[in-house]
Chains A and B, each alone.
Chain A
Amino acid sequence: MKNTLKYIALAAVVGLTSCEPEFENKVSDTGFYDTGSADMTTYVAVGNSLTAGFADGALYITGQENSYPNIMAGQFALAGGGDTFTQPLANDNLGGLLLNGVQIANNRLVLEVDEDGNPGPVLLEGTPTTEITSSATGPFNNMGVPGAKSFHLVAPGYGNAAGIPTGASNPYYARFATSANATVIGDAVSLDPTFFSLWIGNNDILSFATSGGVGVDQTGNFDPSTYGPNDITDPNVFAGAYASQVDALTAGGAGGVLINLPDVTSIPFFTTVPFAPLDPTNPDFGPQIPTLNATFAGLNAAFAFLGVPERSIIFSETAASPVVVNDESLVNLSTALRDALIAGGLDAPTATIFGEQFGQSRQATEEDLLVLTSSSVIATLNEDRFAQLVALGVPAETAGQLSVNGVTYPLEDQWVLVPAEQESIATATAAYNATINGLASANNLGYVDARSELATVASTGIAYNGGVLTSEFVTGGGFSLDGVHPTPRGYALVANLAIQEINNTYGANIPMVDIGNYATVTLANNGN
C-alpha cells in the first residue's frame, strides 16, 4: 500500500512536471548555433537595389521583407545576433514612388494571364502611396539604395530631395537620408555596425547593359561627376570608392562580407529574347518574306560590292530569322552604300535613305543579346522613323514599310547589347571583382562569390528541396518579372551563400534557410 502510493505520487509528479515536451538540444538554446568570431549584434547591409530587396521593377513591402539582408538577419538572430533589423519599408505593396504627389517610379510588375491564356508581366494598377518627401526616419540597418553606383555611396547630397528632378540625387535615399548632405556610407557607419555586408558596383555596369550600351565606357575618366547615368564606371574610380567604404565600415572593428559582381549578361533581361525571333509561321510576317527579300536583294548586292557581304539581310521562309540591328561598332558605310545603290540603279532619294538606315546594320547573331524590353518593339512600327521619312516626302505606305523595328529598320542601340559592348562590361566587371577580392583578403573579410553561384543558376540551375532554381524568365524561379532582380527565392539563395561564407570565414555555425519556402513571381490579374 505504501509503495503503491509512492509510485502513484511519483508518476503524478513526473506527469505534471514534464507535461510540456522539450528537446534535449533546442535550436533556441544558447550555443546551439553560434556566430563564431563574428559579432552580429548590429548588422548593417550596404548596397544598391539588390540589397534593398527591389524586385519586379519596384520597391514594395513584401519584396523588402525578403531582401537577402533581412533573411540573413533572421538567421543571425537564431545564432545570438541582434533581434532587430530595420529597413526603410515602402508604404505599400504596389511599389511606385511619389514626389510631392506626382508619380516618379512605376508600380511593380505582376504576372497577368490575358484572355487567350498567355501569361505575361504587366504593371500592377493602383495609386502608390510611398511619398519621398514624407521621410522614413533613418538610418536603417538595411542601407540598400536602388540605383546607387559605387561612387554614389560616398557622395554627399545623394539623398537631397531637391536634386531628384535633375537626377543629381536618388529618390529612394532621399526618403531616409538623415540629412540633405548625408552620405549612404556615413549613415551606415553611424549605426556602429559590428558586422556588415557590402554589395555595390552592379549598377556601375548594369545601367550600361540594360540600356543596350547607349552609355559610354568611362574607363580612363577619373571624374565621376562627368559621367552619364548609363556609363561604365572607371575601375580606378570604383576601386577608390569601394576601398573608402570598406575603410569606413571596418573602422570600428566590424567584421563583414564583400559580395562580388555577377555576370550581368546572364540574367533573363538579356537571355530571354532570342536573337532570331522572326517566325515565318507568323501570319503578320511570313507572307511578306518574299517581298522583303526582293527589296533587300539590291541592298545585299551593294554590300557584296563594298566587300561586306556579311551585312546582307535575308529572311528565311522555313526557319526563324535574326532581327536586323544597328551595330555602332561597325564602320559606317552610309555614303559608300548610297553611292553603290545609285550605281546599281536606285533613285538617289531612296538610296540616301537606305544608306543612312543600313550604314551600320547587320542581322543579329547568337553573340548579340537583345534586352527583355525589346520584345515589345520588335516587328512594330517605329513611329519616330516613320514621321522622319514622311517629313522627307516619302509616301506614307513606303515610309511604313521602311520603319518596322528589327525588320526594315535596324533595332536601335538601346535594344541590343552587341559583342563589343559586352566586352566592355566584362572587362570592367573583372577589374571591379579583382578589387573586391583584394580588399576582402587585405581586411580579412569574407568574399562571397555570387558570380559563380549565379552563373550556375544560369547554366545548370541549382537544386533545392522541391525543385531546381534557374534563370529562365518567369518559370525559372530565380528572377523577378523585371528580368534583372531576383525573386524572394533568388534572394534566399544569396542569403544562404553569404551565410556559408560567414560560417567559413568566421568559424560560425549559422543555419541556412530552405529556399523552397520563398516565393517566386507574383500572380495577379488587374481588375476583377
Chain B
Amino acid sequence: MKKFTLLAVFALASAAMYAGGYRVSLQGNKSLAMGHTGVAMVDSSELVFFNPAGLVFLENKLGISAGGYGVFSDVVYQNETTGASAETNSSVGTPFYLYGAYQATDWLAFGLGIYTPFGSSVEYPDDWAGSHLVNNIELSAIFIQPTVSFKIGDVFSIGGGPIYVTGSVNFNRNLTRSLTDLDGNRSEVTIDASGVNQWGWTVGTMFKLSDNLIIGANYKSEIILDADDADADFENIPNSPLTPFADTKAKASLPLPAEMTVGVSYAFCNKWTFAFDFNRAFWDVYESLDIDFADPNIPDSFNQRNYKNASTYRFGLQFEATESFTLRAGYYFDESPVQAGFFAPETPRNDSSGYTAGLTFNLSDHFQIDASFLYLRFKEVEASYDPYFEGGVQAPFTGKYKSSAFAPGIGVSYKM
C-alpha cells in the first residue's frame, strides 16, 4: 500500500509543471514537507496560515510553531541567436513564520500568525542582455494575522481574521538597451519603497467529517500594495534636455493576489495520512507594473504583465514512523501565471514541479523539531517578453531560461 501511494505521488512528476509569480509557498515546515498541503490537516498551529477554521479542532491548549528557510534559487539565461548568456547571483532568501494558537473553550480558539508569503530576490549581472527589463529586484512582504476560530456543532468550524501587510521593494533596471553617459556607463534607475502598508483578510471553513476525513477551504483576500512615496534614483544620465531623468518620487502599485484553497486529508492504516490541496491564485489582477514619476518631465513607465489566474495541485503523505519520528513527503505542480509573450526576467517563472520531504522529531511531549526541504524544478523554456518598446517600436526580449530553487527549512513546535 505505502509503496503504491508513493509511486502514485511521484508519477505526477512527469505531468505538467509548477507555480509562480512572486508567491513563495514556504509557510510551515510540517506542511511544506507534505507538498505544502494543509488546508485540511489538523496538526499544528501552522493552521493559522493554512486554514484558521481548523484551530478550534487542535487538541492542545496552546501551540506555537516557528521556523524559517534558506531559499537558494538560480536562473540561467541564454540567447542562441546572439550567444548572450547570464546567470543570476545565487541569492539566498529567508522566509520565516511564527504561529501561535490558543484554545479558549472547546468551541473557540484564537491565533496569531506572522509570515512571509510573497517575495522575490533576483540579481542578474549588471548590464546583462535583459538589463533594460531588470538588473535586480528585491521584494518582501510580512503578513501579520490575528485570528479567531469557532466550532459550530461537532463537524463544522469557521475561522478568519484581518491581515496587516508591510512590504518593501527595491528594483533596478537600465533605462533602455543602449543609453549611456559620455563614458559609456549605462543609464539606470532604482526604485526603492519600504514601509508600504495595507490591510487584507482571510476566512476558512472546515468539515471534520470523521476522525479520518477532513475537508477544508480557505480564502485570502487580494492586497494591493500602493507605494505612494517611492524614491526613484537615476544614474549615469546624459546631460541633455532630451534625457530629463532627475531623481524624483514615484508611485507604483504591486498586487498580492487573492488565493483560494480547497483540500482534503485522509488518515489511514493507523499511522498514515494523505493530503491533497488545490490552490487557485487570482493573478489576473496583475495587469501591469506602472511607475508614475512625480517629476512631470519624466515619462511614466508602463510595463505590461498580463498575468492569468493559476492553479497549484499539491499532494502530501505523512507517516508516523515511531514515537519519536514522523516522516513526510510530497509533490506539487504549479502553473505559472505568466502568459506567452509576457515572460519578464524579473520573475522568470514557467510551470514547475516541487518535490518535498521532511520529518518531525519529538524532543519531548512539548517540543518538536520540524525539518523539511523543497526542490523546485523548472523545465528549460524558450520565452519572450514582447511589450517592450523603444521609440514606439516593439523590441521583444527573447531567450531560453532555466530556473531552480532549493529550500531547506527548520523549525520548532511547542505544545501544551
Whether A and B are associated in the same complex: the answer reads yes
> Judging by beta carbons under 8 Å apart, are A113 and B241 in contact?
yes
In the assembled complex, A522 has its CB within 8 A of some CB on chain B = yes
> Judging by beta carbons under 8 Å apart, are A511 and B395 in contact?
no
Within 8 Å by CB of A528, from B239, B357, B378, lies: B239
Could you tell me the distance between the alpha carbons of A513 and B177 in the complex, rounded to whole angstroms? 13
Q: Measured between C-beta atoms, what is the minimum distance from A25 to chain B in Å? A: 8
> Judging by beta carbons under 8 Å apart, are B375 and A14 in contact?
yes
> Judging by beta carbons under 8 Å apart, are A93 and B393 in contact?
no
In the assembled complex, B129 has its CB within 8 A of some CB on chain A = yes
> Which residue of chain A has the shortest Cβ distance to B359 in the bound complex?
A8
> Which residue of chain B has the shortest Cβ distance to A108 in the bound complex?
B182
Q: Measured between C-beta atoms, what is the minimum distance from A125 to chain B in Å? A: 11
> Judging by beta carbons under 8 Å apart, are B390 and A15 in contact?
no
Q: Measured between C-beta atoms, what is the minimum distance from A52 to chain B in Å? A: 17
Interface 1/0 per residue, B68-108 and A, CB below 8 Å: 00001011101111111100001000000000000000000
> Which residue of chain B has the shortest Cβ distance to A463 in the bound complex?
B393
> Judging by beta carbons under 8 Å apart, are B72 and A19 in contact?
yes
In the assembled complex, A110 has its CB within 8 A of some CB on chain B = yes
Could you tell me the distance between the alpha carbons of A520 and B238 in the complex, rounded to whole angstroms? 13
Within 8 Å by CB of B395, from A23, A61, A467, A525, lies: A467
> Which residue of chain A has the shortest Cβ distance to B357 in the bound complex?
A8
Within 8 Å by CB of B240, from A7, A15, A24, A524, lies: A524
> Judging by beta carbons under 8 Å apart, are B6 and A3 in contact?
yes
Interface 1/0 per residue, A505-528 and B, CB below 8 Å: 000000111101111101111001
Which stretch in B43-51, B200-208, B401-409 binds the other chain? B401-409
A113-B242, A465-B396 are contacts. A26–B178 as well, Cβ < 8 Å?
no
Could you tell me the distance between the alpha carbons of A22 and B377 in the complex, rounded to whole angstroms? 11
Hey, which chain A residues are within 8 Å of B378, CB to CB?
21
Hey, which chain A residues are within 8 Å of B72, CB to CB?
19
Q: By the criterion of a CB under 8 Å from any partner CB, how many residues of chain A are at the interface? A: 57
A11-B375, A117-B241 are contacts. A23–B400 as well, Cβ < 8 Å?
yes
> Judging by beta carbons under 8 Å apart, are B403 and A21 in contact?
yes
Within 8 Å by CB of A4, from B2, B129, B183, B243, lies: B2
> Which residue of chain B has the shortest Cβ distance to A527 in the bound complex?
B239
> Judging by beta carbons under 8 Å apart, are A15 and B178 in contact?
no
Hey, which chain B residues are within 8 Å of A481, CB to CB?
none
> Judging by beta carbons under 8 Å apart, are B241 and A525 in contact?
yes
In the assembled complex, A65 has its CB within 8 A of some CB on chain B = yes
Could you tell me the distance between the alpha carbons of A124 and B402 in the complex, rounded to whole angstroms? 45
Interface 1/0 per residue, B222-262 and A, CB below 8 Å: 00000000000000001111110000000000000000000
Hey, which chain B residues are within 8 Å of A5, CB to CB?
327
Give 21 A-B contacts (CB < 8 Å), ordered by A residue.
A3-B3, A4-B6, A4-B319, A7-B10, A11-B356, A12-B357, A15-B406, A21-B76, A21-B378, A23-B400, A26-B78, A33-B83, A62-B180, A79-B83, A466-B395, A511-B81, A514-B84, A516-B177, A517-B177, A517-B178, A522-B182
- Besides A12-B357, A22-B402, A523-B242, 16 more A-B contacts (Cβ < 8 Å) are A3-B2, A4-B321, A14-B355, A20-B90, A20-B404, A21-B404, A23-B78, A27-B78, A27-B80, A113-B240, A466-B393, A511-B81, A517-B129, A517-B178, A523-B238, A528-B239
Sorted nearest first, the 5 A-B pairs with minimum C-beta distance are A466-B395, A15-B375, A511-B83, A62-B184, A523-B240
